[in-house]
Amino acid sequence: MDGLIYINKLGFVVDPFQHSNADKEANYLGEYFIAPDYFDSIWGDPDNPVPNIIYAPRGSGKTAQKVMLEYRARESNNIIYINYTSHDLSEFDSIDQITQEYHLKYLNQLLLISFLDRFVQSDLYKNIFNFRERQYLYDLIKIYLFNTPESFSRRALSSLKTGFDLSIDLLINIKDPLSKLIHNLTDIQGFPIDLDGIEINKKLKSSHKENFLNLVNYVKRLDCLCIYIFVDRIDEQKLTGNDVEASYKFVKPLLSDLDIIETDGIAFKFFLWDKIKLVANGEIRHDRIFSFELTWNSSQLIQMLNKRVYTYSNKKVVNVFELFENKASIDKIMLFSEFSPRDCIRICKSIITEQERIDPSKTLIPDSTVDEAIVKYCNTKTKELLPNVDIRKAIRDIGKVIFSADDLIQKGIAFTNSIASDYISNWLKKGVISKYGTFIKEINKERKYYNLYRIIDSRIAKIMFPNLSINDFINNKTKVCVTCKERFIIDSTKEKQKCPLCESLNE
């Protein structure tokens, strides 16, 4: 059966689980977006814009917030926004090669594009900028836009707020970069220039910070109240991937320069993986850059799913429970989504795909299909989180939710403390385990302290116990916290366990 036919059979006009990325659902996002309490604070006051950091687990809605902020910015003619989200890192071999120069050069390119976008619509250009300032702008255009790489056109186009016709003209033929267009634009304003003939001062070529500050001022002079710069997806670049330390190294040169991110008229909004806060070791100036944390609970995720199915069915499907024979199926989806809206959507997509394969005549999905789809999803997600097969096998073979490096040695997973530490370091970077505490072991009358770690990802935990059914796994390897009422992973239902979400001790 055609997938869309089965989706229609379930009551939907469009597949509500086709996409799990907010950028691909801009037409619908406003109808089911659930704004966190702090959302208006992120927007702030455009007359006095300030930088912010939004910390959140991966897939928990950072980009959705960014898109909704874009919507708000579009409503104002004197607010510019720039998406600092897509990067071509092909010239670099290591994340350690990313410096502040890289960030400032790219930001200056985007600021210049925004300037040109605004400038071509202005009839005040000659009155606003004097001869010296115009020459300086021509110099910057030659430095930052004249010899851009082929990939820049796509990235720049996706970063602009308005002026898409200009953007297309500006970037349509990157092999003859900008010279003809700049000549035409400046000719319209009465000051035609030839970029080929401009000789650039060497000092100006390396003054990226000063150029940034000047560009912000120049853009603001074109009747611009403020510029929002949305920094997102830093953990999705070529050299960052699933590595939280690499993600922090990528953004650190920009994030650590308060002169840049506190520039008057600029509001940097950093949408960061929450684990970056841990690896930063206090280096981020939270006393100067106010931060927010995005978290979800089961009731909020269910609300999100309800609004989603309601929107995509033209109000025919009122809530997500209508799709399942057993309402407890939703609890399973919540647990294995790890409170991530993205993973929640992906699991629902997997369940519907599985049901269509098994029996497309059914419009109420049974528990057995839900379980089968979740098992497959756990394997898929584990491979995404731990792409290295040896690293994946090692964590699967531990067989315990709470463990130490010594356990890896005792089980023959690692033959030395160094190898065990390498495994643990990798899992910590990937965010699938966390530190849990310490224990003391006496060896030859000498007391030694060992760190304890715990599995915090339910998908990883499930592949560690492949012989347990989904129901048995939930009954024997999870516990509902007495305080926050959310499920978490345990070794035994009889042991005292600290909830990783609220840190309450559960008897």
- Rounded Cα distance between 211 and 226, Å, is 17
- CA-only gyration radius of the chain, Å: 26
Task: Tell me which residue of 317, 205, 246, 271 sits closest to 98, measured CA to CA.
Answer: 246
Residue 446 is predicted with a pLDDT of 74
| Partners of residue 446 on adjacent β-strands | 443
Residue of higher predicted confidence among 39 and 192: 39
202 or 351: which carries more pLDDT confidence? 351
Q: State both tokens at 440.
A: 């003391």
Residues 326-355 have pLDDT tens digits of: 999 999 999 999 989 999 999 999 999 999
One-letter identity of residue 336: F
Residues 6+ apart with CB under 8 A from 21: 63, 342
Q: Which of 38-42, 183-187, 391-395 has the lowest mean pLDDT?
A: 183-187
Residues 389-506, CATH architecture: Orthogonal Bundle (1.10)
Could you please report the per-residue DSSP string of 100-161? Answer: HHHHHHHHHHHHHHHHHHHHTT-S-HHHHS-HHHHHHHHHHHHHHHTT--TTHHHHHHTT-S
Instruction: Return the domain boundaries, the chain.
Output: 3-18+297-385, 51-272, 389-506
The reported pLDDT for the residue numbered 319 is 93
Beta bridge partners of 497: 506
336 — phi, psi (to 5°)?
A: -85, 0
At 199 the pLDDT is 59
Q: Which of 428, 482, 437 is nearest to 457 (CA)?
A: 428
Q: For residue 222, give the DSSP letter.
A: T
pLDDT at 245 over 80: yes
Report which residue type is found at 368: S
For residue 190, name the pLDDT band (cuts at 50, 70, 90).
low
Question: What pLDDT, in 10s, does the model give residues 101-144?
Answer: 999 999 998 888 888 777 766 555 556 777 788 778 878 887 88
Burial class (CB in 10 A: 0-12, 13-18, 19+), 37: exposed
- Position 379 scores a pLDDT of 96
pLDDT digits (tens, 9 = 90+) for 392-448: 999 999 999 999 998 999 999 999 999 999 999 999 888 899 888 887 776 667 777
Question: pLDDT tens digit string along 442-489?
Answer: 666 777 778 899 999 999 999 999 999 999 999 999 988 888 888 888
Assess whether pLDDT exceeds 70 at residue 388. yes
Position 178 pLDDT exceeds 60: no
Q: How many angstroms separate the CA atoms of 17 and 28, rounded?
A: 12
Report the alpha-carbon distance of residue 313 to residue 316 in Å, rounded.
5
Helix (H, G, I), strand (E, B) or coil at 227: strand
pLDDT class of 163 with cuts at 50, 70, 90 = very low
pLDDT band at residue 183 using 50, 70 and 90 as cut-offs: low
Q: What mean pLDDT comes out for the span 212-217?
A: 92
- Write out the two tokens for 167: 């953007």
| The pLDDT value given to residue 175 | 36
Which contacts qualify for 10-13: CB closer than 8 Å, 24 or more apart?
10/317, 10/323, 10/352, 10/363, 11/313, 11/316, 11/317, 11/322, 12/309, 12/312, 12/313, 12/317, 13/312, 13/313, 13/314
The residue-averaged pLDDT of 87-96 equals 88
Selection from 327, 333, 306 nearest residue 317 by Cα: 306
Q: Is the pLDDT of residue 290 over 50?
A: yes
